[in-house]
Amino acid sequence: MLASAGVEFTTAMPGIDEEAIKAAHLEGASDHSRARAIAEVLASRKALTVAQRHAGALVVGSDQILICDGKIFSKAIDEAGARETLCALRRREHELIAAVVIARDDAVIWKHADSARLTMRDFSDEFLDQYLTSEIPEVLGSVGCYRIEGRGAQLFAHVAGDQFSIRGLPLLPLLEALRGFGVLVR
């Protein structure tokens, strides 16, 4: 998304254990505020881990949490897991919470979180089979096992929220913050 928006950047893997961090913060995680806090903690840990290795650099970190019926979902690791996730979301509304932070050295200097509500339609098992055949392994990188900007759009009956946030990055607020830090021209 950043590249499409004309932002130059380099990537660095933070090398953190997301599942361990999430598990440490899951107690009482059935509400929106707790899920948002988890997304913010994960985004912050990613950004801070990289920022500490690159003195003075502005480092962007982001993460996304999916919550449905009080359960926080994790990314599927294989097709069976993707099938299980999509079956759990079928005919239900879920919330995606996307958090983004900017860190420099040892501090988070800016943060933002956004949420969207999506309702999956009552798709058939035949559609699910076709979907997984065409979308695995790409959707394994998405907590909901879909890419709404592609074939995943067919999974939904209703979507309410920012498309960038649904894809995992609240882009417009991030771009404004980068302009504020002088990284992008105003």
d(CA 178, CA 185): 9
- Grouping H, G, I as helix, E, B as strand and the rest as coil, residue 166 is helix
Please confirm, yes or no, whether 105 is among the known catalytic residues: no
Give CA separation, 5 vs 26, 33, 67, 124, 178, in Å.
34, 30, 29, 36, 12
Cα–Cα distance between 36 and 138 in angstroms, integer? 25
d(CA 30, CA 39): 13
Q: Which of these is catalytic: 17, 63, 69, 122?
A: 63
Q: Provide the annotated active-site residues.
A: 63
